[in-house]
Every structure is written in structure tokens, then in C-alpha cells.
Amino acid sequence: MKNSIYLSILLLLLGVVHSRECRFANHYTVDQIMNNKTMRDQFIGQYMEGEADFLKLAGLNHEMGLSYDGHQIGVQSGELTYGHTFSASSKESLHWALILKILEKDSRTSPFGTVDDVFNVLDAKMKSYEGFNRAYPGFGWFLPWY
């Protein structure tokens, strides 16, 4: 029961995210996603394409390799309006999970690019972490809000 409540909330939230097909989540029911492998795979595919678009356009500082905390989205238009200039290690941990799935060559991550693309991001990310550690050694590699 608890999982279906979380999934319902996720589906509602995804309904306002701009993706290749804007507001695709309302084309699915919780029952379809939970009990129909074909529909679940289709939903996951659309979700991953939307997330890849967001990461490429607004969810990542490509120069630094660091994730952003969020981005404001026009509720009616689905258009990006402005991004947060801050983030946190919690967002980085989500990005690391995705990076690991790409390195595992999980077919569902194909919209995010190739392993070579990930190595470029990792290089920038590690340089940023190393720079932060040099500037603030007292954090002992702990990454606070930044």
C-alpha cells in the first residue's frame, strides 16, 4: 500500500515535467505500471528520455560535472524558467547512481549517452571535488550544500 502511494505521488509529479512527450505520466495507471511489464517498460523508457533531456539541458553544470538541485518549470507551459544556483550531496548521490548504471551498460540508460560521455563528466566532477577539498580541507571530503 505504502509503495503504491509513493508511486501515485511520483506519477502526479512526473505529469508536470517537460519531456519528449510532455506530461506522459497521465497515460498510465498505477496498476499498469505495477502489473504489466510492457507498460512498465514503456513508462520507464519515457521517464528515462525525459530525465536525460533534463540532465542535458538544465540538471548538470557540464563544465564542473556537478548536478543542480532543481530547476523551476512553468506549470502551464512545461518550459524551464530558471535554475537553482546551489545543490547538495543528495543530488550528487542520485547522479552517481545513474553514472554507475551507465557504466554497467544498462540498456535503459542509453538516452544519457555513452560510457565515454560519462568519463568526461566524471573527469570534470572529480576535478571539482578535488578543488573543493583543496579549498576547504576541514570538510574531509564531505560534500555539504554548495
> Is residue 53 within 8 Å of 60, Cβ to Cβ?
no
> Is residue 30 within 8 Å of 8, Cβ to Cβ?
yes
Terminal C-alpha separation, the chain: 36
| Residue 140 vs residue 58, higher pLDDT | 140
pLDDT for the residue 1: 53
Q: How many domains does the chain have?
A: 1
Whether 146 is in a domain gets the answer no
> Which domain covers residue 74, as residue numbers?
2-139
Beta bridge partners of 73: 80
Is the pLDDT at 141 greater than 70? The verdict is yes
Whether 25 is in a domain gets the answer yes
d(CA 61, CA 75): 24
Whether 90 is in a domain gets the answer yes
d(CA 12, CA 14): 5
Whether 145 is in a domain gets the answer no
Whether 144 is in a domain gets the answer no
Please report, as a single letter, which amino acid is at residue 109: T
Is the pLDDT at 80 greater than 90? The verdict is no
Model confidence over 31-54: pLDDT tens digits? 999 999 999 999 999 988 888 888
Cell (9 digits) for 93 = 548521490
- Average pLDDT for the chain: 83
CA torsion through residues 92, 56, 113, 64, sign: negative
d(CA 103, CA 73): 30
pLDDT for the residue 58: 82
Whether 55 is in a domain gets the answer yes
pLDDT for the residue 29: 94
What confidence category does residue 9 fall into, taking pLDDT thresholds of 50, 70 and 90? very low
Model confidence over 105-140: pLDDT tens digits? 999 999 999 999 999 999 999 999 999 999 999 999
> Is residue 119 within 8 Å of 126, Cβ to Cβ?
no
Global confidence as pTM: 0.70
Which residues have C-beta within 8 Å of that of residue 55, sequence separation ≥ 6?
98, 112
Q: What's the mean pLDDT in 51-60?
A: 84
pLDDT for the residue 22: 58
